[in-house]
Chains A and B, each alone.
Chain A
Amino acid sequence: MAAEEMGRISHRMRLAFAVASVIFVIVLAISPVKDLRREWKQYKRAYVQFAQKRPDTKRLLADFRPGIDQIWLPEMGVVDRCTTCHQGITQSTLAEAAVPQPFRTHPPIPHNVREWGCTICHRGQGPSTEVAEAHETTLAWEQPLLPVRLIQASCGTCHRANLPETPKLDRGRQLIAEFNCIGCHRLQDGERPAMLGPDLTNVGTKVSREWIYKWLKEPQTLTDADGNVTLDGYETEEEPRMPKFRLTEAELRGLSGYLSTLRSKTVQPYKFDPRVVAAWSRKPDLVDQGELRFRQMFCSTCHALAVTRGGETKLIGGDIGPELTKVGSKVNPEWLAAWLRDPQAYLAHSKMPRYQWSDEDLYKVTQYINTKLTDPDLLSNVPSLGTPTPDEIQLGQRLFVEKGCASCHVVEGVKPQKDFGPDLSALGGKNVSELEFGESKIPRSLVTYIQAKLTDPVSVNPAARMPQYRLNPADLEAVTTALLSMTGTPATSGLERLIVPRTEASFHPAGAFGEVYERYKCYVCHAFNGYGGDLAPDLSYEGSRAQRQWLIDFLKSPQTLRPTLVLRMPEFNMTDKEATTLADYIGMVLQNPSVNPASLEAKQFTPQMVSLGKQLYEVKYQCQACHTIGSSGGYVGPNLSNVGNWMTPAWIEAWLKNPQALVPGTIEPRRPFTEDEVKDLTAYLLTLRQTVKPQKTARANGANTPEPGAMQ
Chain B
Amino acid sequence: MKPRCWLAMLLVVALTGLPGCRKKGGAAADAFRQAYDTEADWNDAQHVIPLGYEQAQGKRVFYAQCVWCHADATPAGPSNRSNVTPVPPLMNDGATLNSASDDYMQNIITLGGSAMGKSAMMPPYGQTLSQDDIRAVIAFTRAIAQPPYQPPAHPGSKYSVK
Contact = CB atoms under 8 A, between A and B. Distances in A.
Interface of A: 15-16, 19-20, 22-23, 26-27, 30, 33-34, 37-39, 54-56, 59, 92-93, 96-98, 101, 107-109, 130-132, 135-136, 145, 147-149, 151, 164-165, 167-168, 233-234, 564-566, 619-622, 625-626, 633-636, 660, 665, 667, 669-672, 704-706
Contact of B80 (A109, A565, A635): A635
B11 A26 contact: yes
Contacts, number: 157
A319 B35 CA distance: 30
Contacts of B64: 665, 667
B157 to A, nearest CB: 5
Contact of B10 (A27, A108, A620): A27
A705 B74 CA distance: 13
B124 A672 contact: yes
B78 A149 contact: no
Given A27-B14, A131-B24, A626 B57 contact: no
A636 B54 CA distance: 26
Nearest to B139: A107
The 10 closest A-B pairs by CB, nearest first: A131-B25, A107-B53, A625-B121, A56-B160, A670-B127, A634-B83, A669-B128, A132-B25, A636-B68, A622-B120
Contacts of B155: 96, 98
A147 B122 CA distance: 38
A136 B32 CA distance: 10
A55 B34 contact: no
B36 A148 contact: yes
B54 A26 contact: no
A131 to B, nearest CB: 3
Given A93-B157, A136-B25, A704 B78 contact: yes
A20 B78 CA distance: 85
Task: Classify chain B's interface size.
Answer: 35 or more
Given A26-B10, A147-B34, A149-B37, 8 more contacts: A19-B6, A98-B155, A131-B25, A145-B32, A148-B36, A619-B120, A620-B120, A621-B120
Contacts of B117: none
Contacts of B60: 164-165, 167
Contact of B17 (A19, A34, A667, A669): A34
B80 A34 contact: no
A670 B36 contact: no
Contacts of B119: 622
A670 B128 contact: yes
Interface in B56-113: 57, 60, 64-65, 68-69, 74-78, 80, 83-84
A113 B25 CA distance: 24
B81 to A, nearest CB: 9
B7 interface: yes
A704 B127 CA distance: 32
A583 B85 CA distance: 39
- Between A165, A566, A633, A669, the greatest number of chain B beta carbons within 10 A of the residue's beta carbon is seen for A669
B148 to A, nearest CB: 12
Contact of B34 (A130, A131, A148, A660): A148
Interface of A, helix, strand, loop or mixed by DSSP: loop
A684 B3 CA distance: 104
Interface in B112-158: 114, 119-125, 127-129, 132, 135, 151, 155-157
Interface string B21-44: 000111011011111110000000
A33 to B, nearest CB: 7
A96 B78 CA distance: 36
A33 B18 contact: yes
Contact of A37 (B20, B31, B69, B74): B20
Nearest to A701: B78
B76 A564 contact: yes
Nearest to A704: B78
A233 B78 CA distance: 11
Contacts of A633: 83
Contacts of B135: 108
B77 to A, nearest CB: 5
23 contacts: A15-B3, A22-B7, A26-B14, A27-B14, A30-B18, A37-B18, A38-B19, A56-B156, A93-B157, A93-B160, A101-B29, A108-B132, A147-B31, A165-B57, A564-B76, A565-B76, A566-B77, A620-B120, A626-B69, A667-B65, A669-B128, A705-B77, A706-B78
B50 to A, nearest CB: 9
Contacts of A667: 64-65, 68
A135 B25 contact: yes
Contacts of B157: 55-56, 92-93
Contacts of A19: 3, 6-7
